[in-house]
Structure 1
Amino acid sequence: MRILLLNQCFHPDHVATAQHLTDLADELVKDGHRVTVVAASRGYDDPDVRYPVREMWRGIDIRRIWTPGLGKKAKWRRLLDFGIFWANATRILLFLPRQDVTVCLTSPPLISTLGTVMARLKGGAVVPWVMDLNPDEAVAAGWLKAGGLAERALTFVQNWSFRRASRIIALDRFMADRIAAKGVRSEVIHTDAPWSHDQAIQYEVAAREAFRAEHGLTGKFVVMYSGNHSPCHPLDAVLAAAEQLKGEERLHFLFVGGGSEFKKVQAFAQAQALKNITCLPYQPMEKLSGSLSAADLHLVVMGDPFVGMVHPCKIYNILTLGIPFLFIGPDQSHGADLARRLNDPAHGRVARNGDVPAIVQQIREAMELGPRPVNTAARELGAEFSHSVLCPKLVGVIEQAAAGH
């Protein structure tokens, strides 16, 4: 089959959607499919990074789109980048041959609509893989006014696309419920979490110690937030906790990744002169085992309004490694569901957003217990979300979509 993958990010970008889409493309090629990827030519987090406009990589035909790379400092910059991506993606898709299936992720927002339009012009099935749900997320973040003209227009377009999809991939039960509420038939919705990178990431003592030594963390109890720093994952309470705990010499907070809120973390640490905070950029896949293994307590954060719109996919790597985590978010959410399933308060901790005293208490308790041995129960739970289980399952859904179209 001819399969088109459409998203802003792809290999060698390090953001989560790029990594998952790269895994999927690899699996599709192994199954004998002809895979084309259309993505941006600039790095997601650093637009100064440029990738080849056209290349064949591991049997995957990659077509990359030029955008001006205006960055995320203002809404108009992001909108212009998105608009030019859409325009150039349209040009590329018009000249591609008919695809049996188009798999659309959700960056830029509503890109599945473009995939749907092209499929209706040329034929073929469309499978939106909903990594985040817009314009719902934009309304929850305050970027769009609920009930306003722009929100109503974007919701109409989104619903039109979703209702014409052959399959829709929701990431958890909360997202599936939101999609169903838009009038999408239940048999179209498949709830499949994004897999861990267990094929590439494992707990490595030597890599842990080397990473900690490299960044001056030897002998410290490391509390880590790794991944996308966005308004959907509010870190204000975590930063307030770091300020309250600045007198704990053994304790250190490590923020790894990027996103629109990453510079705010850096600015807070500088403004408050907090020496217990270190910020590092996204780590390449070959260093991710050492980076993630370096934590003694991982942080997973979900903003209350964003349940069912975004997904805490970082938690699967954490479970795979067997390292304790603190989930900060609402009780009715996927992260809290997993903590309850683990049923080990010393390993899967929970606190509410904004509850700084509770967050401080949970971190203190974890530090007093000290570094924990790798948790077998956590790793068994994480195995349900492994690459070997979930990636082939998604390939099967895509193949079914083509067969049923």
Structure 2
Amino acid sequence: MKVLLLNQCFHPDHVATAQHLTDLALELVKCGHEVTVVASSRGYDDPSIRYPVRETWQGINIRRIWTPGLGKKAKWRRLIDFAMFWGNAKRILFFLPRQDVTVCLTSPPLISTLGTAVAKLKGGAVVPWVMDLNPDEAVAAGWLKAGGIVERALTFIQSWSFRQASRIIALDRFMAERLKAKGVREDVIHTDAPWSHDQAVCYDPAAREAFRAEHGLTGKFIVMYSGNHSPCHPLDGVLAAADELKSEPRLHFLFVGGGSEFKKVQAFAKERALKNITCLPYQPMEKLSGSLSSADLHLVVMGEPFVGIVHPCKIYNILTLGIPFLFIGPDQSHGADLARRLNDPLHARTARNGDTREIVAQIRSAIQLGPRPVNVAAQALGAEFSQSLLCPRLVRIIEQAGARA
């Protein structure tokens, strides 16, 4: 079966969607399918990084798209990059042979519409893998006016592409409900979370100490936010807590990753001369165990308007490691659901966005308890979201869609 994977990011990029799409591509090849990937030739977080325009890697045919790489400093820069990706992707897709299944992720926004249009012309099934929902996300972030002509037009395009889909992959029950509210039939929606990288990430005491020593954090109680820093995951309360707790000698905040809000974290630390904040870029997969294991308390943040629009996928690696976490977000959300399932307030802590007092109280409580032993119950819950379980299941969904087409 010929399978096309369409997304802005792919190996060797380190952003989460690139990692998950790479896992899926390798699993498809393992199952004997012919896989083509169309992605950007520039790094997602650092557009100065360039990848080969064409290459074959691990049996996967990769075609990469040129974009100007203007970055994320302004919306107009993003818009031009997205438009160039769309235009150049269209040229590549029209000249590719017919694909049995096209799996579309959601970066850049509405790229599934292009995949759907090409599949309508050439034939084959389309399976959108909804990592985030747009224009819903743009409305929630205040970038688009709800009910405005642009939002209505984009919603019409999105709804058209979803109606053509053989299956749609939603990441949690909240996203599935949003899709149903848009008119997507319930029997078309398959709900599965993006898996943990449990085949590559595990709790590693030696790598933990090595990572801490490398960054001068030996002996510290580390509170870590690792992953994409975006408006969907508001960090204002966390930064206010870091400022309030700056006199706590044992405590250190470690922000790892990238995204549009990453420089805001750096600017906040510099403006207030906070010595208890360190910012590091995305870590390569081979260093991820050491990086994530170095934390004593992980942070998972979800903005209330973004429930069902984006998904807190970082939580699965945290569960696999068995390290305590503080979920900051609304009570009705996937992160809060998982915290309730663990039913251990010393391991799965919760606070509301903007409630700096409660965030500070939870962190102080965690410091007093000190580093906790690996939580076996959390690891057992994390096993439900393992790559070895969920990735083959997604392959079966794709195979079924291709067989029906």
Paired residue secondary structure (2:61): strand
- Alignment-derived partner of residue 386 in structure 2: 386
Structure 2 residue 277 is matched with structure 1 residue 274: no
- Alignment-derived partner of residue 13 in structure 1: 13
CA distance in 2, matches of 1:75, 1:374: 42
Amino acid at match of 1:246: K
CA distance in 1, matches of 2:75, 2:301: 24
Amino acid at match of 1:165: A
Amino acid at match of 2:36: T
- Please give the root-mean-square deviation of Cα atoms over the aligned residues, in Å: 0.3
CA distance in 1, matches of 2:19, 2:235: 24
CA distance in 2, matches of 1:228, 1:103: 23
Structure 2 residue 322 is matched with structure 1 residue 332: no
Structure 2 residue 22 is matched with structure 1 residue 29: no
Deviation at 1:350, TM superposition (A): 0.3
Paired residue secondary structure (1:81): helix
Paired residue secondary structure (2:360): helix
Amino acid at match of 1:2: K
- Alignment-derived partner of residue 357 in structure 2: 357
Amino acid at match of 1:270: K
CA distance in 1, matches of 2:152, 2:242: 40
Q: How does 1:91-240 map to 2 (within 5 A)?
A: 91-240=91-240
Paired residue secondary structure (2:164): coil
Deviation at 1:255, TM superposition (A): 0.1
Amino acid at match of 1:130: V
- Alignment-derived partner of residue 257 in structure 2: 257
Amino acid at match of 2:123: G
Structure 2 residue 301 is matched with structure 1 residue 318: no
CA distance in 2, matches of 1:243, 1:126: 48
CA distance in 2, matches of 1:256, 1:351: 21
Paired residue secondary structure (2:70): coil
CA distance in 2, matches of 1:222, 1:117: 48
Q: Report Cα offsets for 1:255-275 as digits up to 9, x if no partner.
A: 000000000000000000000
Gaps of 5+ in 1: none
Q: Report Cα offsets for 1:309-356 as digits up to 9, x if no partner.
A: 000000000000000000000000000000000000000000000000
Structure 2 residue 353 is matched with structure 1 residue 345: no
Paired residue secondary structure (1:126): strand
Amino acid at match of 1:65: I
Amino acid at match of 2:358: A
- Alignment-derived partner of residue 63 in structure 1: 63
Deviation at 1:60, TM superposition (A): 0.1
Q: Report Cα offsets for 1:237-284 as digits up to 9, x if no partner.
A: 000000000010000000000000000000000000000000000000
CA distance in 1, matches of 2:202, 2:334: 23
- Alignment-derived partner of residue 39 in structure 1: 39
- Alignment-derived partner of residue 299 in structure 1: 299
CA distance in 2, matches of 1:281, 1:293: 16
- Alignment-derived partner of residue 288 in structure 1: 288
CA distance in 2, matches of 1:73, 1:266: 15
CA distance in 2, matches of 1:377, 1:59: 38
TM-score scaled by structure 1? Answer: 1.00
Amino acid at match of 1:352: R
Structure 2 residue 73 is matched with structure 1 residue 78: no
CA distance in 2, matches of 1:372, 1:76: 46
Deviation at 1:404, TM superposition (A): 1.6
Q: Tell me the matched-pair count.
A: 405
Paired residue secondary structure (1:163): helix
Amino acid at match of 1:385: F
Paired residue secondary structure (1:257): strand
Gaps of 5+ in 2: none
Q: Report Cα offsets for 1:96-154 as digits up to 9, x if no partner.
A: 00000000000000000000000000000000000000000000000000000100000
Q: Report Cα offsets for 1:131-188 as digits up to 9, x if no partner.
A: 0000000000000000001000000000000011000000000000000111011000
Amino acid at match of 1:391: C
CA distance in 2, matches of 1:167, 1:115: 14
Q: Report Cα offsets for 1:40-59 as digits up to 9, x if no partner.
A: 00000000000000000000
Amino acid at match of 2:320: T
CA distance in 1, matches of 2:376, 2:73: 43
CA distance in 2, matches of 1:171, 1:404: 23
Paired residue secondary structure (2:49): coil
Deviation at 1:204, TM superposition (A): 0.4
Q: Report Cα offsets for 1:354-390 as digits up to 9, x if no partner.
A: 0000000000000100000000000000000000000
Paired residue secondary structure (1:19): helix
Q: Percent identity?
A: 83
Moved over 4 A (4+): none
TM-score scaled by structure 2? Answer: 1.00
Q: Report Cα offsets for 1:172-219 as digits up to 9, x if no partner.
A: 000000001110110000001000000000000000000000111100
Deviation at 1:289, TM superposition (A): 0.2
Deviation at 1:403, TM superposition (A): 1.3
